[in-house]
């Protein structure tokens, strides 16, 4: 196995996914839930993210070409979705656990587009395109799995922070996470617009 390629993929995806930065958002979304549901949300989100990244690694170009969708469009869609979630966090609509379904939280927005977002998808597709054979594919695959295991460990053991913060701290964290999420969403949309403009100018 190409350990250098493994390291490149692992570090790149780990920086993009950003487990420490994901923790406050995860706690904001799952803080009101029981520990069992929070742990379930962690592995469901990681499992979905792994599945999405693998699918796009194997058939990403084919899927986007068939749907006539450019990568910037996927990026903008992820940004719009995150804005909706950020507004819920900022307005307090996400605070009522009775209105939350664990699987829904795990799938959207945790699994995608936060963990398996445009950045992780594009980076994985580029690594696969540059791969030279089965050995490289193995290194890329193992690196993706290693990143997802790391994310799961971080999310799984974030429950201790909930005990320290208590309800008041979680409420503050929720508002901060909403603000950060809104900023991430705006950045995604801005990057998508810039990519569209650049593409238009190049084709003109």
Q: Can you give the pTM of this predicted structure?
A: 0.80
Sequence-distant (6+) residues with CB within 8 A of 131 are 5, 137, 140
* CA distances to 8, 115, 124, 136, 153 from 70, in Å: 25, 20, 16, 26, 33
Model pLDDT for residues 147-173, shown as the tens digit of each residue: 999 999 999 988 787 777 777 787 888
Residue 98 pLDDT > 50: no
Cα radius of gyration rounded to whole Å, the chain? 18
* Nearest-angstrom CA–CA distance, 41 and 162: 15
Q: Name the DSSP class of 158.
A: T
CA dihedral 132, 136, 138, 142 (to 10 degrees): -140
pLDDT of residue 85: 81
* Nearest-angstrom CA–CA distance, 158 and 68: 40
Please work out, in degrees rounded to the nearest 5, the angle formed at the alpha carbon of residue 178 by the alpha carbons of 161 and 47. Answer: 65
Report, as an integer, the average pLDDT of 83-96.
75
Within 10 Å of residue 35's Cβ, how many Cβ atoms?
11
pLDDT tier, 105 (very low <50, low <70, confident <90, very high otherwise): confident
Model pLDDT for residues 71-86, shown as the tens digit of each residue: 888 889 888 988 888 8
| Residue 95, helix vs strand vs coil | coil
Specify the DSSP element, H or E, that contains 62: helix 35-67
């Amino acid at each position: 196995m190409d350990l250098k390629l493994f390291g490149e993929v692992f570090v790149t995806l780990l920086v993009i996914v950003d487990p420490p930065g994901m923790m406050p958002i995860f706690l904001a979304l799952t803080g009101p839930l029981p520990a069992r549901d929070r742990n379930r949300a962690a592995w469901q989100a990681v499992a979905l993210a792994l599945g999405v990244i693998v699918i796009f690694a194997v058939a990403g170009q084919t899927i986007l070409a068939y749907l006539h969708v450019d990568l910037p469009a996927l990026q903008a869609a992820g940004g719009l979705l995150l804005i909706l979630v950020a507004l819920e966090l900022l307005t307090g609509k996400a605070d009522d656990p009775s209105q939350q379904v664990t699987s829904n939280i795990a799938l959207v927005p945790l699994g995608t587009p936060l963990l398996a977002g445009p950045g992780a998808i594009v980076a994985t597709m580029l690594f696969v395109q540059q791969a030279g054979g089965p050995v490289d594919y193995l290194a890329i695959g193992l690196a993706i799995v290693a990143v997802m295991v790391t994310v799961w460990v971080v999310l799984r053991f974030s429950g201790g922070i909930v005990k320290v913060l208590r309800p008041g701290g979680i409420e503050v964290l929720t508002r901060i996470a909403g603000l950060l999420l809104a900023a991430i969403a705006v950045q995604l949309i801005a990057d998508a617009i810039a990519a569209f403009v650049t593409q238009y100018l190049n084709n003109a």
